[in-house]
Chain A
Amino acid sequence: MVSTQHIDEPINAVPLLEARGITKIFGTLKANDNVDFAIQKSEIHALLGENGAGKSTLVKILFGSLQQNEGVVLWNGETVSVRSPSEARDLGIGMVFQHFSLFEALTVAENIALSFDANTPLDNIATRTRDLSQQYGLPLDPDAVVGDLSVGERQRVEIIRCLMQDPQLIILDEPTSVLTPQEADTLFETLFRLRDEGRSILYISHRLEEVQRLCSAATIMRHGKVVDACDPRQETAGSLASKMVGAEIDEVVHRESAATDKVVLQLNGLNMPSTHPFAVALKDINLTVNAGEVVGIAGIAGNGQGELFGAISGEDVSTNANAVVIDGHAVGLKNISERRKIGGAFVPEERLGHGAVPALALSDNMYLARHASDSGDFQSGGSLKVIAKNAIKNATKRVVEAMDVRKSAENPPAAALSGGNLQKFVVGRELDRKPVFLLVNQPTWGVDAGAAAHIRQALIDLAASGSAVLMISQDLDEIFEVADRIAVMADGRLSQPEPTARMSRERVGLLMSGAAENGEAA
């Protein structure tokens, strides 16, 4: 424990935890840029921001799993250096992770025992687990095997494990993303009780209405910087969302739309049940994308964008053939290759592992993606399907030149390329086919500005040449720059796309927070 003798100001004036000028650099990316942040005693404090805004980097620094390059952390007014999570726990900082670090085959008590020192008897832990869980209204059976528990119950295990260390500050990373509304209500009761006991809670969430309900202070981050601090109870969901995504009005000069009347993609009442506990169900999605236009889908992460990508690309097959229509073909029941053969092209969010096999050469990745759609060029020998090495090599070279992919060797493995260059390759691989329809998810995620500009220009050019482009992105700047029409995804539903010129960031923010479905009262 850190001595607190040197504090001579009154206790309530000193924040429990304060970060000053935190900077963290990964390569060329400033994940945290001179971040100032303070949380008071007995406060529920929200940390808001989009994916990649630097929230998790900041939290990892506070919890000791990352070290800052510059800046200091103060605990009760004293400078501390938190070199590891166990040092953070010793200070009195506990954390409940979004993805649980539990052992499925072990019991609740065994799981909790593992984070204590070896001298604590298991019986003692079982008793304390039962007591604490009842005290905080989170009932748990210490002898239950974790693998048998629901997601909400597993989170309780994590919370009880954290509370057993009697922390002064509890960090919760997206705690309700895995809970049912009822479970979330129970959790909120517990959080209020913890606050009333004098503990502080750092609450990381995208869900604005929760933040307004729970938190008395909020720090908003964007692009690694703190852009605002406010009292969320004084704000509206719309104003919070626009602070998150950036309300500065850049004059987006909009090019002339090349949209035609020809419908290329049509989604007719697309429904998809959620396939696993963390998935979002798609609910009655209707959308048309015409040749020559780019439609952008905005939305906060985890509102069904990944599931929508899977449903359109054919990774998840629908039960209704007409739910997905590409270029006049009803393909709802067809697989990926069949959708590619009729001119569909799909670029997933995750480039390494999903978009490309890391250990395989670029030419092999080229073949894997286009073996069905380009079987005429890439294969010879009829049903023998002998791989036509030269044709693939030429296509790879074409893409590398067209997209300015910088690489260290002639035909390196995908993993050897930097993120931006691999992304250019993965997008270029599809553009090279001149697809009738291109679906791209997060085209410039984690990509440097130069590569991002190149990719965005390529998407605009593709649409101008007469293809239909559907772009899912969490980057609003990108959507406003590239898209002709914008739709917003919230909780598995998609709003009707509206022309970009008629959209404002405030309106997008409102749609993101799901306010539109409640009747747009404002």
Chain B
Amino acid sequence: MDVWISIILSVCAASTPLLLAATGELVVERSGVLNLGVEGMMIMGAVAGFATAQVTGNPYIGALVAIGAGALFSLLFAFLTLTLVANQVATGLALTILGIGLSGMIGEGFVGQPGIRMEGLNIPFLSDLPIVGQLFFGQDLIFYVSIALVFGVSWFLFKTRAGLTLRSVGDNHTSAHALGINVIKVRYLAVLFGGACAGLAGAHLSLVYVPQWVEGMTAGRGWIALALVVFASWRPGRVLIGAYLFGAVTIGQFHAQAIGIAIPAQFLTSLPYIATIVVLVLIARNRRMTMLNTPASLGQSFVPDR
């Protein structure tokens, strides 16, 4: 039984950064902006969180600074693409390359240092309950934040006026502008939220998952998060499922190797991408699915006339 609990806990740990980054990017894309810089914002969060925790000795301050670093980095993207109307795809790619390089430079002095781990919660009595105690009351705070975030984002998008406004901007920015909605402002806020989420995802990597700093330690998780948004057809609940599916595959491949099941690791690692392609094909086959799920103005720059 303990083996299963530890497997579940490691699946949670592997899935949380994907879930955070993908949920943030989902909000960004729902507003009609395609930010391919998730990997870059994530690794900036990882290095900023790790460095702050080393200096202050407090991983929670580290996580907060990571959120700020991700948001600040996304602000650069927002300024370039929304204010200066640069191409979103090119700018997002540049953001990722810049983030990987910059984080390597900032983190140079921290390589090899033993990190400070954000410990799991310890609630008297509850955390000590058998089985459920560790799962529901004994994990790190970021895990609980990520779960709450999915439900919060889902509620925000589909139950609040602000969420309706955000979806309307993503669907048809020209009409939204004609209704007096400040398209650029909505998109700035969405991009900042996405950056903050990616930053926190990075902090989870460097403060919980592997509490140390390694150059390039996000290792493509930002790209997986981007793929998950499409896989989830822009629905928060499906992002949750997708992130945990992939987390389970990642952990499963370790255990499969351990017990000698001969599935090539490369095949398992490529599963989320294959699944994303399948979902894209399925969506594209059905006009109604495309219309209902894909933000129609995704990736299109908005320049108000006059």
- Give chain A's interface residues, CB within 8 Å of chain B: 85-86, 101-106, 110, 113-115, 118, 122, 145, 147-148
Contacts and interface: CB of A to CB of B under 8 A. Distances in A.
Contact of A106 (B161, B162, B164): B164
Contacts of A148: 288
B178 A103 contact: no
Contact of B291 (A105, A114, A115): A105
B167 interface: yes
Given A114-B165, A147-B292, A106 B171 contact: yes
A139 to B, nearest CB: 22
Dominant SS among interface residues on chain B: helix
Closest 10 CB pairs of A and B: A101-B175, A147-B291, A103-B171, A118-B161, A105-B171, A103-B168, A101-B178, A103-B172, A114-B168, A115-B179
A114 B171 contact: no
A147 B161 contact: no
Nearest to A102: B175
Nearest to A110: B164
B175 A105 contact: no
12 contacts: A85-B180, A86-B180, A101-B174, A102-B175, A103-B167, A104-B291, A105-B171, A105-B295, A114-B168, A118-B161, A145-B291, A147-B291
A104 B164 contact: no
B296 interface: yes
Interface in B148-180: 161-162, 164-165, 167-168, 171-172, 174-176, 178-180
Given A86-B180, A145-B292, A147-B292, A105 B167 contact: yes
B165 A105 contact: no
Contacts of B179: 101, 114-115
A85 B161 CA distance: 21
Contact of B167 (A106, A115, A118, A122): A106
A441 B176 CA distance: 34
Contacts of B288: 147-148
Interface in B95-129: none
Contacts of A86: 180
A106 B180 contact: no
B174 to A, nearest CB: 7
B164 A114 contact: yes
Nearest to A100: B175
Given A105-B167, A105-B292, A113 B161 contact: yes
Contacts of B291: 104-105, 145, 147
A11 B218 CA distance: 73
Contacts of B178: 85, 101
Contacts of B296: 104-105
Given A101-B179, A114-B165, A118-B161, 13 more contacts: A101-B172, A101-B174, A103-B167, A103-B172, A104-B291, A105-B167, A106-B168, A110-B168, A113-B164, A114-B168, A118-B162, A147-B291, A148-B288
A102 B174 CA distance: 10
A102 B168 CA distance: 9
A122 B291 CA distance: 22
Contacts of B175: 101-103
Contact of B172 (A104, A113, A118): A104
A147 B172 CA distance: 12
Contacts of B174: 101
Interface centre among A105, A106, A114, A118 (most CB of B within 10 A): A105
A99 B296 CA distance: 17
A16 B178 CA distance: 26
Contacts of B162: 118
